[in-house]
Chains A and B, each alone.
Chain A
Amino acid sequence: MMWNEEIETMPRQDLEELQLKKLQATVKRAFNEIPYYNKKYSEAEVFPEDIETLKDIEKLPFITKDDLRDSYPFGLFAVDMSEIKELHSSSGTTGKPVVSGYTKKDLDTWAETIARGLTMMGIGENDILQNTHGYGMFTGGFGVHYGSHKVGAAIIPISTGQTRRQVEIMKDFGSTGLIFTPSYGIHLGEVALEDGIDPKELGIKAIGFGAEMWTEEIRQRVEEIFGAKAYNIYGLTELMGPGVGVECGEQKGLHIAEDIYYPEIIDPNTLENLGENQKGELVLTNLEREGMPVIRFRTKDITKLTYEKCECGRTHARMSRITGRSDDMIKVKGVAIFPSQIEKALLKVGDVEPHYLIIVTRPGTLDEIEVKVEASQNLFFDGIKDMMEITNKIGKSIENETGIRVKVTLVEPKSLPRFEGKAKRVIDERNLH
Chain B
Amino acid sequence: MKIKQLSIFLQNRMGSLSKPLEVLSENDINIRAMCMADTSEFGILRLVVDNPIKGKEVLEENNFLVKITEIIGVEMNDAPGGLTSVLNVIKENNIDLEYLYAFTHDKADKAILLLHTDDIDNLIDVLTEKNITIASAEEVYNL
- A and B interact physically: yes
Partner of B65, one of A376, A384, A388, A409: A376
| Binary flags per residue of B1-17, CB closer than 8 Å to A gives 1, else 0 | 00000010111000010
B11/A411 in contact, CB under 8 A = yes
CB distance B9 to A412 under 8 Å? yes
The 10 closest A-B pairs by CB, nearest first: A414-B63, A382-B7, A382-B69, A375-B9, A413-B65, A380-B9, A413-B63, A380-B65, A384-B37, A375-B65
A216 to chain B, nearest CB (A): 36
Tell which of A376, A377, A387, A409 touches B44, judged by Cβ atoms closer than 8 Å. A387
Q: A380-B9, A382-B7, A382-B69 in contact; A412/B46 too (CB < 8 A)?
A: no
Q: Add 14 more A-B contacts to A380-B9, A412-B64 (CB < 8 A).
A: A375-B42, A377-B67, A381-B67, A383-B44, A383-B99, A387-B42, A388-B39, A409-B42, A410-B11, A410-B42, A412-B63, A413-B9, A413-B64, A414-B63
Q: Tell whether, in the assembled complex, residue A384 and residue B39 are in contact, meaning their CB atoms are under 8 Å apart.
A: yes
**Which residue of chain A lies nearest to B5 when distances are taken between CB atoms in the complex?**
A382
B106 lies within 8 A of chain A by Cβ: no
B110 at the interface (CB under 8 A from A): no
For residue B41, CB closer than 8 A to chain A, the reply is yes
For window 380-422 of A, CB contacts with B under 8 Å fall at 380-384, 387-388, 409-415
Residues of A close to B37: CB separation below 8 A = 384
Complex contact B98–A383 (CB within 8 A)? yes
Report A-chain residues with C-beta under 8 Å of the C-beta of B16. Answer: 412
Contact A380 B64 (CB under 8 A): no
Q: Contacts A376-B65, A412-B63, A413-B64; is A384 near B9 (CB within 8 Å)? A: no
Q: How far does the alpha carbon of A383 sit from the alpha carbon of B44 in the complex, in Å?
A: 8
Compute how far the CA of A413 lies from the CA of B37 in the bound complex, rounded to whole angstroms. 19
Show 14 residue pairs from A and B whose CB-CB distance is below 8 angstroms, ordered by the A residue: A375-B9, A376-B65, A380-B9, A380-B65, A382-B7, A382-B67, A382-B116, A384-B44, A412-B9, A412-B10, A412-B63, A412-B65, A413-B64, A415-B11
- Least CB distance from B70 to A in Å reads 10
Chain A interface (Cβ within 8 Å of chain B)? 375-377, 380-384, 387-388, 409-415
Give chain A nearest CB distance to B7 CB in angstroms.
4
The smallest beta-carbon distance between A12 and chain B, in angstroms, is 59
Cβ-defined partner of A382 (8 Å) among B11, B41, B44: B44
Instruction: Write the nearest CB–CB distance from B57 to chain A, whole angstroms.
Output: 14
0/1 interface trace, chain B 34-73, chain A, CB 8 Å (1 if under): 0001010110101000000000000000011101010000
List the B side residues contacting A382 at CB < 8 Å: 7, 44, 46, 67, 69, 98, 116
Q: In the complex, which range does the number of interface residues on chain B fall in?
A: 10 to 19
Q: How far is the CB of B88 from chain A (nearest CB, A)?
A: 23
Q: Determine the distance from Cα of A410 to Cα of B42 in the docked complex, in whole angstroms.
A: 7
Interface residues of B in 98-119 (CB under 8 A from A): 98-99, 116
Cβ-neighbour of A380 out of B46, B63, B67 (below 8 A): B67
> In the complex, what residues of A have CB within 8 A of residue B39's CB?
384, 387-388
A375-B65 Cα distance, complex, nearest whole Å: 7
Q: How far is the CA of A409 from the CA of B63 in the complex (A)?
A: 18
User: Considering the chains assembled together, what is the distance between the CA atoms of A375 and B37 in angstroms?
Assistant: 16
**What's the nearest-Cβ distance from chain A to residue B16, in Å?**
8
> Smallest Cβ distance from A358 to chain B, in angstroms?
17
In angstroms, Cα B66 to Cα A381, docked, is 9
User: B56 → chain A, closest Cβ, in Å?
Assistant: 12
Count chain B CB atoms within 10 A of each CB in A409, A410, A412 and give the residue with the most.
A412
Could you tell me the distance between the alpha carbons of A384 and B12 in the complex, rounded to whole angstroms?
13
A279, chain B: closest CB distance, angstroms: 40
**Within the complex, what minimum Cβ distance (angstroms) separates B76 from chain A?**
23
The interface residues of chain A lying within 8 Å CB-to-CB of B44 are: 382-384, 387
Q: Are B98 and A409 in contact (CB under 8 A)?
A: no
Most buried by B among A382, A414, A415: A382
Which residues from chain A contact B7 at a C-beta distance below 8 Å?
Answer: 380, 382
A403 to chain B, nearest CB (A): 24
**Cα(A228)–Cα(B7), bound, Å:** 59
Give the chain A neighbours of B116 by CB distance below 8 A.
382
Which one, B11, B67, B69, B98, contacts A412 given CB within 8 A? B11
Complex Cα distance, B39 from A410, in Å, reads 12
Least Cβ–Cβ distance between A387 and chain B, in angstroms: 7
Name the residue of chain A whose CB is nearest to the CB of B69.
A382
A2 to chain B, nearest CB (A): 56
**Nearest CB in chain B to that of A383: its residue:** B98
- Rounded to whole angstroms, the CA-CA distance of A387 and B41 in the bound complex is 11
Q: Which residues of A contact B64 (CB under 8 A)?
A: 412-413
A295 vs B113: C-alpha distance when bound (angstroms): 73
B59-97 interface bits toward A, Cβ cutoff 8 Å, 1 = contact, 0 = none: 000011101010000000000000000000000000000
**Smallest CB–CB gap between B104 and chain A, Å?**
24
Q: Complex Cα distance A410/B44, Å?
A: 12
Q: Once the chains are docked, how many angstroms separate the CA of A387 from the CA of B10?
A: 12
A114 to chain B, nearest CB (A): 46
Task: Tell me the complex Cα distance, A417–B42, Å.
Answer: 19
Q: Which residue of B lies closest to A414 (CB)?
A: B63
A213 smallest CB distance to B (angstroms): 29
Which residues in A have their C-beta under 8 angstroms from that of B69? 382
